[in-house]
């Protein structure tokens, strides 16, 4: 498929409005050709150009400091033939804007103002952050890369946090998303002001950390600080820069201020009482600030201004500055008003810019997913071959029958009485008996009982702790094969890989704005994990309960199967859902219910430490029976299992004989026999014979599972197709929820 057709298809998928003033999309394809470079380097490589990325929050009207700072730099680069992307960072804006209509209006006004100032959508890609899902995907990967203290190293950000009584996670991690905005497009230039230096250092650290860990991927960009933005100070506190976050609106001249407002603000500008007009930034910051603005809007130097204003009192000079500013802003205000009269065309510009940005971002994310092990580099070739040669099969026993995957996609039909189940499992090793009986087998029972089941291989959760790239993708396929072999039927439920559905990361980036940092820090499982670490935990490990909440809420799950020790995670999802629904005045999310799994998982203990749960994380592999273990391995593990100083008859006595009792528990679960029946049948056996009896029962039970899993793993192309099909079905459901969320928060224009 040609790039033009891809672009057209994406435009259709995003419901891009058609306006009589909108340029044909084919023009964007032609313009995009000027942005395309090699797949592994920045866009400007190969054409001698630079690439600049600038993020602007739609948190209010742009002021003169913004214009003469980053905006003017972007326009200069654009007019010099450089490649420029301007991101309207609406996700960041959720930290402070909770009203849908306010945010929608701010996005449109920001876009209109940028265009009116000289940003040309034919030359510069102007887009919404929320419309490019790769922002959220890369943001999560960076969460798992940097440690929990990284945001605090950005001093300007840390200072802001100190003023917030109860910071939300979205507020705390915002520097990571800012780094994502730049690195996603492999920018080599960041147009910004002098106060961006700390954030710039964080961007460089993040790029270097990724390159060191996974191999060269990101450029280390250069910070291009404007000569003028630092000279424009607050009208009320001229020792500070002009800022949209200042509480007093009189402190800044906004690009859309009326002439009367500009004059009034200039009149109230703080200055000294010296009548003479001359520039002295240290001794006379107030007057010097007025002169700086006067110079910028008229292009006159200070000496000329001083000469023209000899004998003028400061009070009268303020009116001269106001007149000059009004003359400068007059055509910009007129252009903004004209642009806003045709909002459909403005929305088209943003939607089309988002399509263009997404095409570029997809290339970066494909490379990154390969580097960290979430997908093989040859995935497209694998899928193309598989689609041609290997039809998908429903797995029964050891046979794979060719079928089409058809799954009821009516997940939002509240009239259906059955449950909507979501469950996830990390691809961190082979399933063991505890996983199988405690979780997977119960998913199968729910599936076979007619419930709507979604099973997700949560690879994005897996990378919250270090993973080997070489083994991560193999583990994803291994987990998928194991789950299918255990009876999860991809024809009757949805089985997919988390990172293939970007809406997980997108929803995470939104709902974290209602999750309190203090609340997350009190999570018991987080505290337990931190105690075993030798260094500071990753930001991803700290915030993963929010991603887990996004996993659940994205599919409007009614029930989430969990072990008793995971209740707290569901409580996080419930709290976030309630807070989000309360903030936006709608019942956007269903409130999920924890479905406490059968206690089998807790009952199946380690073969070496029978008072502890069987676990994939235990260092001694002989402590667990894995579902793909060979018969010989199962026999050896059972023979060497810890049973203490056992003597007498085989009996269930958890207090005195935990090792024997654990073997009996496994025997009972597999055979369906009660402890009394097992005692009656095996009471005369010595412990070594009983261990062999248990091993035989396990081998017999796991034989068809192991056979099917091995067969599936020998045909990885089919596994890829199953996961891709599942991801397509999951995406269809997830997009329904995400679109609703985008509408409610104000992203959908």
Hey, what are 735's tokens? Answer: 């997009």
User: What is the rounded CA–CA span in Å between residue 649 and residue 690?
Assistant: 10
Burial tier of 406 (Cβ tally within 10 Å: 0-12, 13-18, 19+):
exposed
Number of residues in the chain: 749
User: What is the rounded CA–CA span in Å between residue 370 and residue 214?
Assistant: 10
**422 strand-pairing partners:** 454
Task: Identify whether 613 is a catalytic site residue.
Answer: yes
| Displacement of CA 223 from its chain's centroid (Å) | 25
Cα 271 to Cα 240, 284, 314, distances in angstroms: 14, 7, 8
User: What is the rounded CA–CA span in Å between residue 283 and residue 473?
Assistant: 63
Contacts for 377 with CB less than 8 Å, ≥ 6 apart: 370
Task: Identify whether 299 is a catalytic site residue.
Answer: no
User: What is the rounded CA–CA span in Å between residue 712 and residue 627?
Assistant: 14
Contacts for 80 with CB less than 8 Å, ≥ 6 apart: none
Nearest Cα neighbor of 545 from 106, 29, 120, 169 is: 169
Q: Residue 124: left (phi > 0), alpha (psi -120 to 50), or beta?
A: beta
Determine how β-strand 393-396 pairs with β-strand 399-402. Answer: antiparallel
User: What is the rounded CA–CA span in Å between residue 241 and residue 362?
Assistant: 37
User: What is the rounded CA–CA span in Å between residue 708 and residue 641?
Assistant: 27
Burial tier of 518 (Cβ tally within 10 Å: 0-12, 13-18, 19+):
exposed
**DSSP-H helix ranges across 390-516:** 433-435, 441-448, 459-462, 469-485, 503-511
User: What is the rounded CA–CA span in Å between residue 537 and residue 529?
Assistant: 9
Q: Are 73 and 53 within 8 A, CB to CB?
A: no
User: What is the rounded CA–CA span in Å between residue 235 and residue 284?
Assistant: 13
306, 343, 387, 613: the catalytic one is 613
- Give the start-end residues of each E strand in 329-398: 393-396
User: What is the rounded CA–CA span in Å between residue 116 and residue 103?
Assistant: 20
**38 strand-pairing partners:** none
343, 366, 616, 621: the catalytic one is 616
Cα 297 to Cα 277, 290, 330, distances in angstroms: 17, 11, 12
- Give the start-end residues of each E strand in 606-745: none
Contacts for 588 with CB less than 8 Å, ≥ 6 apart: 580, 581, 740, 741, 744
**497 strand-pairing partners:** 457
Helices 687-713/631-639 angle, 10° precision: 150
Q: Residue 313: left (phi > 0), alpha (psi -120 to 50), or beta?
A: beta
Residue in this structure with the two tokens 């599972």, named with its chain if needed? 705
Rounded to 10 degrees, what is the CA torsion of 198, 201, 203, 207? -170
318, 529, 691, 716: the catalytic one is 529
Residue in this structure with the two tokens 């672009």, named with its chain if needed? 7
| Displacement of CA 639 from its chain's centroid (Å) | 46
**End-to-end CA gap in the chain:** 30
Determine how β-strand 124-128 pairs with β-strand 83-88. Answer: parallel
Contacts for 49 with CB less than 8 Å, ≥ 6 apart: 43, 81, 82, 83
Instruction: Report the 10 Å Cβ neighbour count for 598.
Output: 16
Which one-letter DSSP state was computed for residue 23?
A: P
User: What is the set of active-site residues?
Assistant: 529, 613, 616
């Amino acid at each position: 498929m040609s790039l033009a057709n891809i672009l057209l298809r994406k435009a259709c998928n995003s419901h891009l409005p058609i306006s009589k003033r909108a340029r044909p999309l084919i023009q964007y394809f032609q313009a995009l050709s000027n942005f395309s470079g090699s797949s592994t380097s920045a866009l400007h490589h190969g054409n001698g150009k630079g690439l600049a990325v600038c993020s602007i929050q739609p948190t209010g009207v742009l002021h003169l400091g913004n214009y003469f700072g980053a905006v003017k730099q972007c326009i200069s680069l654009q007019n010099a033939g450089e490649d420029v992307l301007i991101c309207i960072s609406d996700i960041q804006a959720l930290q402070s804007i909770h009203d849908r209509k306010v945010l929608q209006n701010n996005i449109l006004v920001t876009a209109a103002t940028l265009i009116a100032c000289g940003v040309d959508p034919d030359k510069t890609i102007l887009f919404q952050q929320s419309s490019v899902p790769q922002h959220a995907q890369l943001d999560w990967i960076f969460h798992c890369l940097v440690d929990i203290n990284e945001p605090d190293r950005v001093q300007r950000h840390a200072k802001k946090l100190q003023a917030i009584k109860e910071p939300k996670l979205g507020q705390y991690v915002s520097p990571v998303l800012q780094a994502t905005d730049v690195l996603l497009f492999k920018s080599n230039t960041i147009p910004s002001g002098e106060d961006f230096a700390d954030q710039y250092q964080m961007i460089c650290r993040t790029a270097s950390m990724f390159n060191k860990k996974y191999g060269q991927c990101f450029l280390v960009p250069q910070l291009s600080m404007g000569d003028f933005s630092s000279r424009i100070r607050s009208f009320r506190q001229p020792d500070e820069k002009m800022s949209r976050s200042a509480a007093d609106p009189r402190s800044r001249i906004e690009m859309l201020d009326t002439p009367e407002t500009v004059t009034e603000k200039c009149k109230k500008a703080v200055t000294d009482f010296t009548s003479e007009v001359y520039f002295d930034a240290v001794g006379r910051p107030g007057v010097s600030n007025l002169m700086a603005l006067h110079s910028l809007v008229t292009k006159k130097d200070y000496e000329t201004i001083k000469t023209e204003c000899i004998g003028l009192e400061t009070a009268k000079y303020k009116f001269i500055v106001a007149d000059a500013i009004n003359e400068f802003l007059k055509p910009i205000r007129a252009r903004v008003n004209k642009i806003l009269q045709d909002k459909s065309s403005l929305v088209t510009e943003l939607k089309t810019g988002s399509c263009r940005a997404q095409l570029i971002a997809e290339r970066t994310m494909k490379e990154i997913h390969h580097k960290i092990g979430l997908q093989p580099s040859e995935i497209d070739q694998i899928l193309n071959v598989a689609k041609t040669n290997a039809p998908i099969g429903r797995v029964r026993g050891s046979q794979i029958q060719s079928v089409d995957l058809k799954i009821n996609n009516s997940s939002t039909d509240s009239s259906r009485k059955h449950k909507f189940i979501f469950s996830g499992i990390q691809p961190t090793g082979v399933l063991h008996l505890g996983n199988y009986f405690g979780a997977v087998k119960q998913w199968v029972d729910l599936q076979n009982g007619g419930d709507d089941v979604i099973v997700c291989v949560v690879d994005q959760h897996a990378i919250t702790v270090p993973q080997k790239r070489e083994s991560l993708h193999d583990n994803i396929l291994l987990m998928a094969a194991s789950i299918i072999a255990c009876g999860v039927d991809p024809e009757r439920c949805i089985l997919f890989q988390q990172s293939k559905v970007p809406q997980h990361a997108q929803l995470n980036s939104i709902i974290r704005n209602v999750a309190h940092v203090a609340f997350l820090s009190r999570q018991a499982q987080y505290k337990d994990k931190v105690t075993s670490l030798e260094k500071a935990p990753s930001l991803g490990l700290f915030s993963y309960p929010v991603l887990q909440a996004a996993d659940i809420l994205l599919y409007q799950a009614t029930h989430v199967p969990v072990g008793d020790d995971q209740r707290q995670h569901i409580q996080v999802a419930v709290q976030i859902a309630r807070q989000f629904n309360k903030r936006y005045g709608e019942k956007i999310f269903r409130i999920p219910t924890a479905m406490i799994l059968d206690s089998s998982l807790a009952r199946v203990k380690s073969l070496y430490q029978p008072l502890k749960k069987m676990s994939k994380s235990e260092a001694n592999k002989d402590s667990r029976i894995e579902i793909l273990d060979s018969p010989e391995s199962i026999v050896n593990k059972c023979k060497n299992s810890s049973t203490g100083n056992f003597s007498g008859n085989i009996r269930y006595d958890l207090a005195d004989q935990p090792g024997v009792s654990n073997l009996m528990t496994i025997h009972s679960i597999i055979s369906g026999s009660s402890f009394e029946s097992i005692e009656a049948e095996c009471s005369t056996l010595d412990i070594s014979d009983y261990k062999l009896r248990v091993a035989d029962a396990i081998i017999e039970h796991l034989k068809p599972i192991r056979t099917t899993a091995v067969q599936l793993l020998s045909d990885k192309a089919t596994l890829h197709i199953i996961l891709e099909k599942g991801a397509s079905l999951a995406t269809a459901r997830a997009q329904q929820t995400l679109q609703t969320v985008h509408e409610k928060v104000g992203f959908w224009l």
